[in-house]
Chains A and B, each alone.
Chain A
Amino acid sequence: MSYLSVTDADREAMLAAIGVSTVDELFQDIPAGMRYREELAVKPALSEAELQRHFEELAAKNVVDEICFLGAGIYDHYVPAVVDAVLQRGELLTAYTPYQPEMSQGVLQAIFEYQTAICELTGMDVSNASGYDGTTVAADACFVAKHATGRAKVVVTEATNPQVRQVVKTYAPGFGLEVVEVPHEGGATDPARVREAAENAAAVIFQQPNFFGVLEAAPDLAAAANDAGAMPIAHVDLVSLGVLEAPGAYGCAMAIGEGQSAGNAMSYGGPHYGFLAARSDYMRRLPGRIVGETVDAAGERGYVLTLQTREQHIRREKATSNITTNQTLLALAGLVHLSLLGPQGLRELGETCLALAQHAKAELQKAGLELAFPDKATFKEFAVRTGRNAREALAAARTKGVYAGYPLGRDYPGLDDTLLVAVTEKRTVGEIAQLVEALA
C-alpha cells in the first residue's frame, strides 16, 4: 500500500515537461558509485487491514492489564476523551510550526493559552511553547542559568529524578558546566547542604515533590540558592499545583517539569512535553518557541511567534538553543486537560491523589511493611520497604496482577529493598487492597 497519486499518464506528462525520459535521469547528479542499485531489503508492503492486524499483534505482546502503581516520573492519570477529539482535528494535527501566522492563528492562540496556563500554575512570567520532555528542559534551564550568571557549576539534588540528572550530566560538558549533586538525608534535601554546594553555582535544581514523592522544604531550598546568588529552579508536577504552592511564590527563578501528567498517555515514554517557565528577567534567554500577542493590519488582535532573535534560524551559532520541532501537540493536550479541570478540578485531582496515597501508606503499614521515609509528608508517591529485594517483591506482586512500583535500587544503592509506589486518582480502594495483599 502506498499513499501516492501519480498515474503512468501523469508520470509521462511530467517527465516530458521536465525534458527527461526516465525518472532515473532525475538522479544524474548522484555519483554512480553512490547509487543504491538493489531493492531495499525490507519486508513486503502491507495493506491497511494487514497493518492493523500486525500492530494489534505487537501491542498484544505488551502487558498493560496489571494494576499500575508504577510512576517515577510518568503517571497513570486519566486522559479525558475531549483531549483525543481535539488532537485528531486535522487542521491542528497536520500543521507545522506557525511560521506563517495568518495560516496558523489556531495553533498560535492555543500556545498563547498554554503559556498562560503554565505561568498561572507555576507563578512565573513567561513560558515557552514546550521542550522535548521533563529531562531536556532541565538541560535547557542549565544553559539559561550559565549565561545569566556567568557561573560554571550547577547543583542538582540527588532526590531529583535520576533521568533528569543523567540528561543534565550528558549536556553539561558541552555547556562548560560542572554538575554537583547534593545527597538526600532520609528522603529529603537539607537546605544547609544546598547552601554550601550553591556557592558560585549558576543554579540549584530540585524537585518538588521529589523523586521519592516526598515534599521538600522547597521555600528553604529556594532561599538557600538565592542566598548564594544561584538561580533556584524547581522541577514540579503540574497535577500537584492545585494543592502545592507555585514555585514563583517561594522565590524560584524558573520552573520546569514533565507535562505528561496533564493530558498525555504513558505511551512507553513519549511523545510527551516538557514545560519551562521563568521570571521575566530571563525572557530573552529562554530556549524554544514563544508566542506573543500583536495586532494585524486592521488593528485586530492576533498572535505570532515572537522574540525570534533568540532562535537558531535567526541567530545560528549564537542562539539560546538548537530546538526547532518541539512538542506542541502534546502541550495542547495538556492545555485541553487543564481547561477541562479548571482550578477546582485540579485541586480535587490533587486531593484525591493525596487521600488515596495516604490510604495506601496506612494500609501497607498495617500489613507490617515499613515506609522508607516514615516521617515525611508525600503527595501521590511514596517509598516502601518490601523486606526483601524489591525486584523480587515486584515479580511476586505481578503474579497477582499488581504492578507494585519502581525498584529504587536501580538508582539508589542502599534502597535495594525499596519500591516507589504511585497512586493516581484512577486507583481504587479495592485495588489498593490488592496491592497490600500482593506485597504483604
Chain B
Amino acid sequence: MKLIYEKSQSGRRGIGVPQPPAGLDVPEVPPELRRKEPPRLPELAEPEVLRHFTQLSTRNFGIDTGFYPLGSCTMKYNPRINERLVGLAGFAQLHPLVEDDAAQGALELEWELERYLLEITGLDAVSLQPAAGSQGELTGLMLFHAYFADRDEDEQRTNIVIPDTAHGTNPASVTMAGYKLTPVRTDARGNIDVDDLRTKVDENTAGLMLTNPSTLGLFDENIEEIERIFHGAGALMYYDGANLNAVCGISRPGDMGFDVVHINLHKTFSQPHGGGGPGGGPIAVRGILEPFLPVPVVARDGDTFRLDYDRPKSIGKVRAFSGPFGVFVRSYAFMRSYGPGLKEMSEVAVLNANYMLARLKSTYDLPYERLCMHEFVLSARALKREHGVSALDVAKRLMDYGFHPPTIYFPLVVPEALMIEPTESEAKETLDAFCDAMLAIAREAAEEPETVHEAPHSRPVKRLDEVRAAKEVVVKYRFEDHPAGERQLEAQKGA
C-alpha cells in the first residue's frame, strides 16, 4: 500500500491550529535560526489520515486479532478497562513536575503498585523509574557498582556471570554498565552447570544475572546451590523478571536469594505491547541496596505521599520523572482486578504451557524431557534433517493457520528452536487449534514441503527479503526519487 507521503497533496490540511488572537504579532525569529525549507510532512485531510492508519492496522496482527504465543514476550490479554482508566483526565492531564500536593492520587497509586511488587517479589524496596526490562537490568547493575563502591570492592569485582541461555539484553547491559561478561554453560537437564559455575565465581565476581524460570521455560533445580555460591563469594544476584508470569504467588525471587529483580509490567502485568512498546521495568531490591536507588523515590508520611530526592547515595536518574506513569495505571488496574488470584493467573499460564507441550512433544523434539513452566522450547531439528523444513518455515506456515508464530531460533542453545508461550489468557480450544496446526504442518513437511517453504500464502505480503534490506539500506522515504509534481500525480491515482 502507499506510504502516507505518497497520498499527500500540496495545500491540503488535516487539523486546524488556534491562530494568534487579533492584534498579537508573531515575533521574528532571528534569520540565522529560522527554518528555510519546510519539512515535507504529509498533507492530507483528517478523514484520509484516519483511513490511512486504519488501513495500516488491518495489515497488522495483535492479541486482539488472535493467538500470539511469542515465547518470552508474555502476550496476554490487555483489558480494555485499563485504557479507559489511563485516559481519566486526572491522570492524562497531570504534569509530572507539579508540586506533590497536586499529585496525591498519582503518588498513592505508585506507592500501592510498589506494595504489590514487593509482595510478589519478596523484597524490600522498589524503584519504578526504569522504562523497560532492559533498563531495569542496567539500573540493577549500576546498583551493583554503587554497592561495591560503598564497600571499596568495586575495582576488584569486575565480572558478571550469565548463562548461555540468557536473553541478549543481559550481556548487552553488562557492557553498558562497564562490567565484563563471564558466560556459564547449561547442563544436560537445562539448569546452570554448577560445576562450570564453581570455576567461574571468585573474588572478582560482582554478581549473577539469571532468568528463572529460564528461557528454556525450566525452573533451575540448583537454585539453592547457586545462591550459596554467589553469596558465599560476597557477590550479588540479579533476577531477570522476564518470566515472572510463571511464579506469581508460587515462588518469590527474594526467597530464591535474589538481591535485585526487574519486573516487565508489559509482560506479567499486561501493559499493551504497542507494536514494540511502551514497557515498564521497575526494580525491587533487598534493603542493602535501597540507599542507591534512583531518585526520586515515592515516600509516605501518614496519609500523604511525596517524591523524595534526598538520597545522598543514589546512583542518580535513569529516565525522567518517576517513571512511565500510564504504564503504572494499567498494570496496577490489572493487579487489582486479580487480587490474590494472581496466583491462579500463573497456575493457568503453566497449565496451558504444559498441556500444549504434552500434545506436541511426540511430533517435535523436546530437548529437555521435563515439565515446563509458563513456556517451552521445542526443536524442529528432525523436520529440518528429514524434510528440509526449518523452524522459520514452520513459523511462516503458522500464519496461514491464523496464528502469530512463536519465538524462533532462541534460546541459542537449542537448534531450530520454537519457543512457545501461551499465557493464561487462552481458552483450551485455542490451544488445541494451535497444536492441531503444528501437527498439520509437521505432516505437510513430509507430504508437501513446498507449501511450507513458500508460506505464508495468506498475508498481505509474501516472505520479505531481510538480507536486501540490510544491504541496500532504505530507512526513510526517498523524496528525491519522486519529485513533487510526479508525487502529486501518483497520489491522485488513489490508494
Interface string of A315-327 (1 = CB under 8 A from B): 1111101111111
In the bound complex, CA of A46 to CA of B329 (Å)? 15
Measured between beta carbons, the chain A residues less than 8 angstroms from B32 are: 217, 219, 245
User: B366 interface residue, CB < 8 Å from A?
Assistant: no
User: B223 interface residue, CB < 8 Å from A?
Assistant: yes
In the bound complex, CA of A129 to CA of B274 (Å)? 13
Interface string of B55-96 (1 = CB under 8 A from A): 011111111110010100101111101011111111111111
Given contacts A107-B276, A136-B135, contact A82 B49 (CB under 8 A): yes
Given contacts A34-B223, A120-B40, contact A429 B359 (CB under 8 A): no
Asked if residues A36 and B250 are in contact (CB atoms below 8 Å), the reply is yes
Residue of chain A at shortest CB distance from B412: A316
Give 23 A-B contacts (CB < 8 Å), ordered by A residue. A10-B427, A42-B115, A43-B336, A52-B84, A59-B105, A62-B91, A70-B95, A91-B58, A97-B273, A97-B276, A107-B56, A215-B30, A249-B37, A265-B326, A268-B106, A296-B461, A306-B470, A307-B473, A312-B171, A322-B176, A323-B134, A327-B277, A342-B12
User: A255 interface residue, CB < 8 Å from B?
Assistant: no
User: A365 interface residue, CB < 8 Å from B?
Assistant: no
Q: Which residues in window 1-35 of A have CB below 8 A to B?
A: 1-6, 10-11, 13-15, 17-20, 23, 26-31, 33-35
Q: How far is the CB of B297 from chain A (nearest CB, A)?
A: 15
Q: Which residues in window 450-495 of B have CB below 8 A to A?
A: 454, 456, 459-466, 468-470, 473-477
Supplied contacts A100-B404, A244-B33, 17 more A-B pairs, CB within 8 Å: A6-B428, A15-B351, A29-B371, A33-B224, A55-B88, A74-B97, A94-B63, A101-B464, A112-B3, A245-B33, A292-B473, A294-B464, A307-B475, A328-B276, A343-B40, A344-B38, A354-B29
In the bound complex, CA of A330 to CA of B86 (Å)? 14
Asked if residues A102 and B132 are in contact (CB atoms below 8 Å), the reply is no
In the bound complex, CA of A173 to CA of B175 (Å)? 12
Asked if residues B102 and A62 are in contact (CB atoms below 8 Å), the reply is yes
In the bound complex, CA of A300 to CA of B464 (Å)? 9
Q: How far is the CB of B343 from chain A (nearest CB, A)?
A: 6
Asked if residues B371 and A28 are in contact (CB atoms below 8 Å), the reply is yes
User: A149 interface residue, CB < 8 Å from B?
Assistant: no
Q: Which residues in window 326-353 of B have CB below 8 A to A?
A: 326-327, 329, 333, 335-345, 347-348, 350-352
Given contacts A43-B336, A166-B316, contact A102 B476 (CB under 8 A): no
Q: How far is the CB of B78 from chain A (nearest CB, A)?
A: 5
Asked if residues B102 and A344 are in contact (CB atoms below 8 Å), the reply is no
Given contacts A267-B91, A304-B466, contact A96 B21 (CB under 8 A): no
Asked if residues B39 and A246 are in contact (CB atoms below 8 Å), the reply is yes
Given contacts A300-B461, A339-B42, contact A319 B175 (CB under 8 A): yes
In the bound complex, CA of A434 to CA of B427 (Å)? 57
In the bound complex, CA of A120 to CA of B95 (Å)? 29
Asked if residues A312 and B172 are in contact (CB atoms below 8 Å), the reply is yes
In the bound complex, CA of A247 to CA of B60 (Å)? 34
Q: How far is the CB of A346 from chain B (nearest CB, A)?
A: 6
Interchain pairs with CB closer than 8 A, number: 687
Measured between beta carbons, the chain B residues less than 8 angstroms from A23 are: 347, 350-351
Asked if residues A30 and B219 are in contact (CB atoms below 8 Å), the reply is yes
**A-B interface, 7 closest residue pairs, ranked by CB to CB distance from nearest:** A59-B90, A90-B64, A329-B274, A269-B321, A106-B60, A269-B96, A61-B105
User: B26 interface residue, CB < 8 Å from A?
Assistant: yes
User: B354 interface residue, CB < 8 Å from A?
Assistant: yes
Residue of chain A at shortest CB distance from B175: A317
In the bound complex, CA of A293 to CA of B6 (Å)? 15
Q: How far is the CB of A142 from chain B (nearest CB, A)?
A: 11
Which listed residue, A42, A173, A340, touches B49 by the CB 8 Å rule? A340
Q: How far is the CB of A43 from chain B (nearest CB, A)?
A: 6
Asked if residues B342 and A96 are in contact (CB atoms below 8 Å), the reply is no
Q: Which residues in window 123-137 of A have CB below 8 A to B?
A: 125-127, 129-130, 132-136
Given contacts A100-B405, A316-B172, contact A26 B321 (CB under 8 A): no
Measured between beta carbons, the chain B residues less than 8 angstroms from A322 are: 134-135, 137-138, 169, 172-173, 176
Of the listed stretches A150-158, A195-203, A355-363, name the one at the interface; the rest are far from the partner chain: A355-363
Asked if residues B396 and A102 are in contact (CB atoms below 8 Å), the reply is yes
Asked if residues B105 and A3 are in contact (CB atoms below 8 Å), the reply is no
In the bound complex, CA of A109 to CA of B464 (Å)? 13
Asked if residues B325 and A51 are in contact (CB atoms below 8 Å), the reply is no
Which listed residue, B25, B272, B357, B470, touches A308 by the CB 8 Å rule? B470
How many B residues have CB within 8 A of the partner chain?
204
User: A110 interface residue, CB < 8 Å from B?
Assistant: yes
Q: How far is the CB of B480 from chain A (nearest CB, A)?
A: 12
Which listed residue, A99, A120, A266, A352, touches B96 by the CB 8 Å rule? A266
In the bound complex, CA of A302 to CA of B343 (Å)? 43
Residue of chain A at shortest CB distance from B92: A265
Given contacts A91-B62, A96-B73, contact A36 B251 (CB under 8 A): yes
In the bound complex, CA of A417 to CA of B133 (Å)? 40
Which listed residue, B58, B81, B319, touches A136 by the CB 8 Å rule? B319
Of the listed stretches B116-124, B230-238, B383-391, B439-447, name the one at the interface; the rest are far from the partner chain: B116-124
Residue of chain B at shortest CB distance from A277: B476
Measured between beta carbons, the chain A residues less than 8 angstroms from B35 are: 241-246, 347
Measured between beta carbons, the chain A residues less than 8 angstroms from B352 are: 6, 14
Q: Counting chain B CB atoms within 10 Å of each CB, which of A52, A58, A265, A359 scores highest?
A: A58
Given contacts A34-B256, A85-B50, A93-B64, contact A64 B89 (CB under 8 A): yes
Asked if residues B343 and A40 are in contact (CB atoms below 8 Å), the reply is yes
User: A121 interface residue, CB < 8 Å from B?
Assistant: yes
Given contacts A91-B57, A175-B176, A329-B278, contact A166 B426 (CB under 8 A): no
User: A366 interface residue, CB < 8 Å from B?
Assistant: no
In the bound complex, CA of A425 to CA of B426 (Å)? 46
Asked if residues A297 and B466 are in contact (CB atoms below 8 Å), the reply is no
Interface string of B122-148 (1 = CB under 8 A from A): 100000000111110110011001000
User: B188 interface residue, CB < 8 Å from A?
Assistant: no
Q: Counting chain A CB atoms within 10 Å of each CB, which of B176, B178, B219, B459 scores highest?
A: B176
Residue of chain A at shortest CB distance from B372: A26
Residue of chain B at shortest CB distance from A82: B50
Asked if residues A167 and B273 are in contact (CB atoms below 8 Å), the reply is no
Q: How far is the CB of A97 from chain B (nearest CB, A)?
A: 4
Q: How far is the CB of A141 from chain B (nearest CB, A)?
A: 14
User: A39 interface residue, CB < 8 Å from B?
Assistant: yes
Asked if residues A170 and B320 are in contact (CB atoms below 8 Å), the reply is no
